[in-house]
Structure 1
Amino acid sequence: MIGLVLAAGAGRRLRPHTDSLPKALVPVGPAGIEGEPTVLDLTLGNFAEIGLTEAAVIVGYRKEAVHARKAALEEKYGLKLTLIDNDKAEEWNNAYSLWCGRDALKDGVILANGDTVHPVSVEKTLLAARDGVRRIILAVDTVKSLADEEMKVVVDPGLGVRRITKLMDPAEATGEYIGVTLIEGGAAEELAQALRTVWESDPQQFYEHGYQELINGGFRIDAAPIGDVSWVEIDNHDDLARGREIACQY
């Protein structure tokens, strides 16, 4: 199993920080200055802590900044990194971005969005949920109060995840998908096909629509509650401030 990070996004709501950097490389240290940890640093650190030795990073917007740091990141975290190019990063949404990493999925991956600050306990929870049967397991926050923007899920204890979408009454949701997934290699082909179906029908769709495509076709996707932990998806400047607070805890 390897790590996989989606780090191709432009993060336009974080300008001017993202004028020259992809969102995954915006510093999340307390001072927010060059040289402090980034979301990519924190995620690769988590991967290393759970014993992974390889990771792939899907790059696109300002990809040269990731290429420039590749050797230093490999040395710092003891990971062999492969950079995968998303040629549509500034035009299309992340269903296509994850599809670009379809070959990496065959190894089995822990997938992490490049804008999610979270503790290593999330990865450990996903690994603990492996049982040789479950093929895709989503990290889900069942504690947080939900609003309209969150990627919400409905989970049936006997059937797994039934719905995953932002377009849901928060009162109907079991919790929020936090952007971290364990994907077994045996699910790679079916997931790649679902992602292709999604982006071909509408290139602005999220990769989570690929999960829903699988579910609609009878594929079981499971969820693992992460417990009461601090995490944040960094979309805007308020999120970045929160991310800097949280990053100091780990």
Structure 2
Amino acid sequence: MIGLVLAAGAGRRLRPYTDTLPKALVPIDAGTTPLDLTLANFAEVGLTDAAIVVGYAAAAIEARVGDLQDRYGVRLQLVHNDKAEIWNNAYSLWCARDLFAEGVLLANGDTVHPVSVERTLLDARGGDRRLILALDTEKQLADEEMKVVWDDAVGVRRITKLMDPATATGEYIGVTLIEPAAAGDLTAALRKTWQNDPDLYYEDGYQVLADAGFRIDVAPIGAVDWVEIDNHADLARAREIVCPS
């Protein structure tokens, strides 16, 4: 199994940091970025290889590969998304499709979370589980969250921002365990998604899978501090989590 980070996005709401950096390299603390934290998590759960999907400001990540490998002891490869500035992340994840057969721990490059999330997903493996989503079932939800409806009989029924928060089981936090057995189905679903509309999210690809009867499981992460960094308020929250006063 390898780690996979989606780090191709522009993150325009985080300017001026993202004038020259991808969101995954926005500084949280001196020497600490979301990418650093994610790679540290991968290393702590025993992963020795990881891939990073790059696009916008890719050169900034390319310049740090050697340092990141030395710091975290994880061999890195870069996957280039040639449409990162014009298409959404369904295509970005599809660009890494050749890696799915190895088994993947996927993390969005703008998500700050503790290593307990990766451990929870790894502990949830087994049986016929092929795709497992990290789910926050504690947070009070609003309109912007990527919400999930799940039940034990069929797994994930819906995954979208566009639902009544009161109907949701929880929020998908942007971390997924992809087993090798999911590779073919997930690749096809992502391709169908971006071909249908290149502005769609990879979570829309998960919905394609669910609609086709593919079971998607979830792993509740418990009451942990995490944040998706979309704007400066989120960045301030990330700094509170990483550097509590």
Q: Which residue of 1 aligns with 2:35?
A: 40
Alpha-carbon deviations, 1:117-167, whole Å to 9, x = none? 000000000000001410000000000000000000001122211100000
* From 69, 72, 77, the counterpart of 1:74: 69
- 1:105 Cα deviation after fit: 1.1
**What is the letter of the counterpart of residue 76 of structure 2?**
L
The CA distance in 2 between the partners of 1:159 and 1:86, in whole Å, is: 33
Q: Which residue of 2 aligns with 1:148?
A: 143
Q: Which residue of 1 aligns with 2:9?
A: 9
Alpha-carbon deviations, 1:59-85, whole Å to 9, x = none? 000000000000100010000000000
What is the root-mean-square deviation of aligned Cα atoms in Å?
A: 0.7
1:183 aligns with 2:171: no
Alpha-carbon deviations, 1:184-213, whole Å to 9, x = none? 011011101100000001000000000000
Q: Which residue of 2 aligns with 1:201?
A: 196
* Aligned counterparts, 1:212-227, within 5 A: 212-227=207-222
* Aligned counterparts, 1:1-250, within 5 A: 1-29=1-29, 35-248=30-243
Aligned residue pairs, count: 244
Alpha-carbon deviations, 1:59-114, whole Å to 9, x = none? 00000000000010001000000000000000000000000000111100000000
**What is the letter of the counterpart of residue 73 of structure 2?**
G
The CA distance in 2 between the partners of 1:105 and 1:132, in whole Å, is: 18
The CA distance in 2 between the partners of 1:185 and 1:65, in whole Å, is: 31
The CA distance in 2 between the partners of 1:104 and 1:62, in whole Å, is: 23
- 1:20 Cα deviation after fit: 0.5
The CA distance in 1 between the partners of 2:111 and 2:177, in whole Å, is: 15
The CA distance in 2 between the partners of 1:164 and 1:182, in whole Å, is: 16
Sequence identity of aligned pairs in percent? 70
Runs ≥4 in structure 1, deviation > 6 angstroms?
Answer: none
- Structure 1 residues not aligned, in runs of 5+: 30-34
**What is the letter of the counterpart of residue 44 of structure 1?**
L
The CA distance in 2 between the partners of 1:207 and 1:248, in whole Å, is: 31
